[in-house]
Structures are given as C-alpha cells and as structure tokens.
Structure 1
C-alpha cells in the first residue's frame, strides 16, 4: 500500500495557506465534501496554524446522561471493542460521535501519549468550529463515508493524521452518529471501510432490537444473509402498521431513504404477497418466506421476534410496592431484561437448528431437559415462540 501522494500533500499545504487568505480552492484538489468542510471551517474563523481546541471549555461530566447518547453508546460499544481488537494501536483511536459531534465513547491504547489523539475522549466535541475538517464532521454534515488524510485536514496539526468515518443510521433513516478511526500514519482505507460498514450495520441492528412493542422482520434477496448484519430490518406494530425500516430495508423495498414510514402497512409493503402469506409474516416461529416483488425479483422474509411485553422488567420493579424505583434501578432492570431476551433467543435458535429435538438441544446447551422446558415456557411468554 502506497502512502498518500507526497506531491498532492505539498499542493494541499500551499492551497490551504492561500485559501485561509481568501483565495478559492482549485476545483479538483479536494473531494466535494472536504471542500465544503474547508469552507465551513474558514467561515467559523479558524486559521490553519491554530491548535485544535476540542471544545475543552464545554466538556461534560457524563455524556451518556442523555437517553439518545446512552442508547447510541449501547449500540456501538461492543462494535468498537471488536474494531479495536482488530485495528487498535498506540498511535490510533476508535470512537463514536453523536450528531452534534460530541464523543459518546472512545478507545485508546493505555500507552498513547499523542497530543492530538489523547484529547479525543468521551464528552469532547469534534466540531469544525473547534478543530476544522475531520472525517466525522463531514459524515455528520453530509451523511457519507469520508476519508481525510494528511493535509486534507484544514488544521496543520493534523497533517500526519489519517481519519476514516462511516455514518450510523437511526430508525427513520437519519444520521445518529459517526463511527471513526483516527491515527498517525497510513492504513488500508478499503479494508477499514469494509469492517466499519459492517460494524455500523451491526449497531443499527442493536438499535432496532430496542424497539419493544413491535414485530421485527428481516429481509434479504439471499436467504443466507438473513441472520447477518446484511439483512434489512422492518418493525411492524401488531396491527400491521410499519413503525421503522433500516437503511438496507428501505433500499430493497424502494421506501423513502429518510423520514417516518408510518403511512406504510404490511399489506402495502408486501402488496404482491397473498393475504395468507402476509398473515404468516407476523407469526412467531414461522419459517422464512420467499415473496415475489413487482419487478420480478424475490425477497426472503423472516420473523425474528414478536412484541416484547416487558414482563421481566415490570416484575422486578414491583418487588418493592409503594417505593418509587430510582433511575439506576430502572436501567439495571431493563439491562437484565435485555440479557434475558438475548439468552432466550439463543435457546430458540438452538432448538430450531435441531428441528425441535429437545434432547439434542439440551445436550448442545449443556442443560437438563427440565431447565430447557422452563426456558422455552419463558420464550413463549415473551412471544419468541408460538404458543
């Protein structure tokens, strides 16, 4: 892999100084998104020789106090750990920023002492008005994957920095954050993009799993991908109204790329399916169905789970009648409920893999059949198995 071209780096250095003095940028020197970011940085009053500020004056004590930030952290934390295990190092950091550019989680090496990387920490803001052009600032402005290398950054302090970000998408197709790797040196950008795209899709799946009072369906043209982050996700209310659709699902079904989808129903989304097929789509435990599309292609649709009633949460919070539960107690109960749901789903999947054979499933899970039957009753009560 070759380094970023030295000649182009030199041209960017010269153009940046002239740009800061009011001259226009050469048309082909920067990708359009980066050129717009340079414009915003200059309009914010930044000069290329300034030190990055990282909005230190407004550092928060606990950035995850806000529900949206806490949810974003829960969706990306595991993905960042996996990415760090693969691509982390003393001169690199991997982090997630919310739509305002505030970092909700960041991973550094304990041995990192880099003056540019260390301030990238939870609670700091990665905004153009503070640090100029970066990959996450471009992602949050344009919603597109972005790579910024060396002198493509507006501030000279980043002239040896590589930065790659991908957008994180919300349930209405909106950008809810940026997942980023930043470091000193060079990496294979194409390889990183593939891994970070997969991580972003996995985070989106975790976000959809938090939608409790709805049916979750997975769709894909290739059934082998139904159980992977490459599946599109749909959330339907019990009456068949579409509550949310993932970015992949929107593309596969021709739905609007952004915005609410409440005007759509199960019958409208799968209008080429027979009424009996449509009814089966919301039946827990039913096998994936192959449905014809209007354009002649086919989609596989699999029911992942039914609405979650929150029984475990409610039971725990009612253990002390007359006492209002604290916020930490509520959060702990919800986390325990989510863990129980994950366990029950794993058991249901194991049972399906063994075609309903209780003895074989119990052997795989290393539990007694009595314990397995008890867990299956819980799964039925949670709507994860048909009654």
Structure 2
C-alpha cells in the first residue's frame, strides 16, 4: 500500500514546494527585490513575470486585497460599437463553453482591450468572493487585482495560463485561469476569452476547446463586414465548415480587405497589422484566370486551387457582399445549420413570409416568452441548443433581437 501511495505523496509535496517558492519570491519581489533566476521559466513563465513587474510598478503589493474596478458610467456597459460587435461574436461561444465546462466555482467571460468584462457566465449557486465580482462592466486591471490570464493576453497577445501562486496577489493563490486571445480584422488583439475557477485545476484539458471557440468568434467578426465577398479557405476540405477554416474578405475587383489569422497562417502573411496590398492572384499564383474568376461566384462545391509552391488550397464561397439595404446575416457553417422542421409558423408571422423568416420569428417569440433561456427555447421548439444558438446569431445580425433577447 505504501509503494502505491508514494507517488501521490511525492506529487503533493512537489506542488506544495513550488507554491511555497512562488509565495516567498512574490513577497520579496513585492518588497522591491529581484526575482530569483531559479524561478524562471520553470515555475514562472516570462509573460507572467512581466505581469508581476507591471503590477508592482502600478503600486500594488502582493499582500493587498483585490479591487475590481466598476465603470462609473451610467450608460450601458456595451455602449461602444466595438464592444457590441465583440459581444455578438462571443456570447454564443461562451454559452456553449458554459454548457460543457460550467460549475459552481467557475466563470467564463470575455474582456475587451481595455480589460472591461463584456460578458460573463457563472452559476447562480456561486458564492466565491473572488468570482462573484467578475460581471459585465467590471475591469480586469493589473493595477487593481494584479496578474491574471486576461491581463497577460492583452499585453502579450498569446494564450496564457496562470495557476495558483503564479498570481501576483496572495488571495489568488487558490485560483487558476486560462485565457486565449481574440484577434480582429487587422490582426490586432480585440479581447480575451477566459475561464477562471478556484482550486487546483488541470486546464490543459480545456485549452483546445477555448482555442476553437476564439477562432469561431473571429469568423463571426468577419461576417459583420459589408460590401465584400467572404471566402473560406483550408488545405483540407473537411475543415471548411469548422473554426479551423481561414476567412478572406475580398473586394469586387479581387483585392483583399482582410484575412483571419488562420488565413494569414495558410498564406504566410505576417500576423498583426494591416494586410499588405494583396489580391487573389497573389494568393493563388498558379491558378488559371478562368478558375480565379469563379472564386467570387457561388459554387455548389468548394474549388481546389493550386499554388506555385506545389501546394493546393480548397476555397468555399461563403457569402456575397452586403449593403445597407440588405439585412446582415451570419455565415453559419453547415454543421451548425440544422433544419427547424418541427417548428410551426407562429401566428405573428407576416403573410407571405418564407419558411426561413417564420423559423426566425418562432425562435424570436420563444426567446421573449422564456426570458432568454436558451434551454427552455430548445425544449419548446424540440431542437438542440446548438440550433437555437445558430438562429440567435441570425436574429442579432438582422436586428430582430437585442442582446437581452428583446424584440426590436
């Protein structure tokens, strides 16, 4: 029995030793000393060490209590266009992540570049003093609460995990958090998607899901663009309907307006900053002109386009240009676009409305009836919650539903 339990005792003692080292180094660092070289990078990643330095430079000390800043504005916490757009792109992903990973001692939330929480999801049963303050309108700032995964993401632009003693404030020693960056149309960081919980956690188990959620949110961001074609690109056609597909926003003359980070990676375009002057001809340099001309026209099947380096890329036409007179609609991947055949047309549907319009109205009415409870809507309409989320994206984009689930 002793031989079997020894590894667990050793693991616990190792973890306690690491926590003790971090705690001691943090106290000395807060008092003005330098960090011991032995801590880095084994116990304290460089990105987290830089956050400690920023926290100390802001005048915060490890033994102080955290203070979540609440915006003083009496207006909406999502008063800017950028914040509203960010919310519309992440809210459904957060809800789906919550369905998979939520719990009484967890919260999942998104912050904008200024550290303001745009949307947060936690259990009504949560009573943890470190999680309860994380609500829309609060700000996650190093000057107030020290090192956190979202603050590191906003400064570094990379995925960050901060666990236990890696936090700068002593009170956060029992907290673990993972955050992934959200990138905008020009490769800039527009926010961070975060999972925060108390207790010892193995966050490696959820990293991939959060990475995919961030990519899916970025795809929705491209769907808000007007006046351009949208193309999905991937080396494997089976991934075209997934968050792993790249997205190209293309002008009528074939020039690129924007490219997602996955598309930039596929075409070896520098990440971050505005795109250089590029066209479809530059990207698909070995494709015949006749084939290039087909890229900006709807096709039943994706096109396989060869490149001069011997590789090839599959291209799927996703959406035609939108203008102000056209209701904006989200580009929903086929896997997310289940038919709502069981839904009967509501009495409020307009005469002559298409089945698609009647379906949206049915979801709209159910959302209002159930106060925005997606699970209740799915039960009433006898569809999956994934289907409801897909239709909600369409409703928000067409302006038929507000962020609170209210009719417009």
**TM-score under structure 1 length normalisation:** 0.81
Q: Post-superposition shift, 1:18?
A: 0.5
- Tell me whether 1:101 sits opposite 2:86 in the alignment: no
For residues 276-315 of structure 1, what are the structure 2 equivalents within 5 Å? 276-313=290-327
CA distance in 2, matches of 1:198, 1:219: 16
- Tell me whether 1:33 sits opposite 2:43 in the alignment: no
Q: Residue in 2 aligned with 1:240?
A: 254
Q: Post-superposition shift, 1:294?
A: 2.8
CA distance in 2, matches of 1:76, 1:56: 21
- Tell me whether 1:163 sits opposite 2:171 in the alignment: no
Q: Post-superposition shift, 1:56?
A: 3.1
Q: Post-superposition shift, 1:111?
A: 1.1
For residues 246-261 of structure 1, what are the structure 2 equivalents within 5 Å? 246-261=260-275
CA distance in 2, matches of 1:270, 1:132: 47
Residue 270 of structure 1, aligned match among 277, 284, 305: 284
CA distance in 1, matches of 2:102, 2:264: 33
Q: Post-superposition shift, 1:114?
A: 1.0
Q: Post-superposition shift, 1:57?
A: 6.1
SS at match of 1:311: coil
**Gap change, CA 1:205 and 1:49, over 3 Å in 2:** same
Q: Post-superposition shift, 1:267?
A: 1.4
CA distance in 1, matches of 2:98, 2:78: 21
Structure 1 range deviating more: 277-286 or 5-14: 277-286
Q: Residue in 2 aligned with 1:354?
A: none
**Gap change, CA 1:232 and 1:136, over 3 Å in 2:** same
- 1:306-325 CA deviation, whole Å, 9 max, x = no partner? 11234355xxxxxxxxxxxx
CA distance in 2, matches of 1:140, 1:132: 14
Number of residues paired by the alignment? 336
CA distance in 1, matches of 2:228, 2:342: 30
- Tell me whether 1:11 sits opposite 2:36 in the alignment: no
CA distance in 2, matches of 1:207, 1:362: 25
Q: Residue in 2 aligned with 1:24?
A: 34
- Tell me whether 1:72 sits opposite 2:90 in the alignment: no
CA distance in 2, matches of 1:278, 1:15: 59
Structure 1 range deviating more: 53-62 or 278-287: 53-62
After the TM superposition, which parts of structure 1 deviate over 2 Å for at least 4 consecutive aligned residues? 1-4, 56-61, 309-313, 361-367, 371-376
CA distance in 2, matches of 1:362, 1:25: 59
**Gap change, CA 1:182 and 1:294, over 3 Å in 2:** same
Q: Are the counterparts in 2 of residues 60 and 123 from structure 1 also a CA contact under 8 Å?
A: no
- 1:342-378 CA deviation, whole Å, 9 max, x = no partner? 6xx97xx89xxxxxxxxxx9999999xxx999979xx
CA distance in 1, matches of 2:252, 2:71: 48
**Gap change, CA 1:364 and 1:292, over 3 Å in 2:** farther
Q: Post-superposition shift, 1:185?
A: 1.4
Q: Residue in 1 aligned with 2:329?
A: 338
Specify every segment of 5 or more residues in structure 1 that has no aligned partner in the other structure, as ranges. Answer: 314-336, 351-360, 377-387
Structure 1 range deviating more: 163-172 or 255-264: 255-264
